[in-house]
Amino acid sequence: MICHPEFDELRGDSESWWYATRRKLLREAAMQGIHGKREARVLDLGCTAQLQFDDPTLYRVCNVQSSLRTLAFRQIEGDPNLVCSRPEELAFTSNSFDGIVAGDTLQSVGDDVAALREMRRVLKEGGLLCLTAPAYSFLWSEDDEARGHQRRYTVSELRRKLTTCGFQIHRASYFVASAFLPLVVGRAAKDIFRKSISHHRHYPRPSRLANAAMATLLDCERHLMHYINLPFGTRVVCWAVKPPLVTEAATVPAWERKWAQHPLAQGSG
């Protein structure tokens, strides 16, 4: 194992309760998107699901990340089929993937609408997109700035953008409701006592016991989301489908139909 401060930080993130729960959520969505399909392809945008299927003849995985640092780390960790590509300009042909999972990627791109349109372009008709993003702009913190985030979302905002980009919304819900109230209280306290609180690049890492407890709580939330949409949380989760292309019947004017039935004689003097 290579010891490097930057890689240690990424490794610590990958072992935290949120990253572990997000992997389970996105892997579940990936399996749903390729269910019953042979030679299926899945795009893991951001390398957050860390998809590795045992049988390469059934499923083919492409892990995409625009950060060279994260890409190098994922290569060291053994992720296959790594590609460096910007979300706004995906280096794949149209209609290439049966499913796309994007964990906490959309909030960091310059043009999120362009990124969503690119996801729709490379997704096959009927393909499933599952993405997560930080929720609520009032929860913005120094951690967002340190991680290069540019925005946070509400469910209605993300639904609207997905619909505008041509997706059909399957489900949309908040997630991580267990941490919502403590985070709101923490943000309010930080605003009140801003001068007495030092600015850290990231929040302090929880203990192993706290990490395990939060992972258990989020597993319960994840199973609960199979039945209901959560009304609040620190993350937004959306499942959307690229609808099949519908060929609309062209309306031909009456005068055009008449000329088509009785064309002028050619060469008449």
For the entire predicted model, the pTM comes to 0.81
Establish if 254 belongs to a structural domain.
Answer: no
Give the model confidence (pLDDT) of 130-157 as tens digits.
999 999 999 998 889 988 999 999 999 9
- Per-residue pLDDT of the chain (269 residues), as tens digits, is 455 666 767 777 778 899 999 999 999 999 888 887 878 899 999 888 877 665 555 677 888 888 888 888 888 877 878 888 999 999 999 999 999 999 999 999 999 999 999 999 999 999 999 999 999 999 998 889 988 999 999 999 999 999 999 999 999 999 999 999 888 887 777 666 654 444 444 455 677 888 899 999 999 999 999 999 999 999 999 999 999 875 444 455 555 555 555 555 555 44
Classify burial at 117, counting beta carbons within 10 Å of its beta carbon; exposed 0-12, middle 13-18, buried 19 or more.
middle
In a domain, 211, yes or no: yes
- Domain harbouring 229, CATH code: 3.40.50.150
| Residue-level length of the chain | 269
- Number of domains making up the chain: 1
Residue 253 falls inside a structural domain: no
Is residue 170 in a domain?
A: yes
Domain range enclosing 65: 5-244
SS3 helix, strand, coil % of the chain, rounded to 5? Answer: 45, 20, 40
In a domain, 267, yes or no: no
265 found inside a domain = no
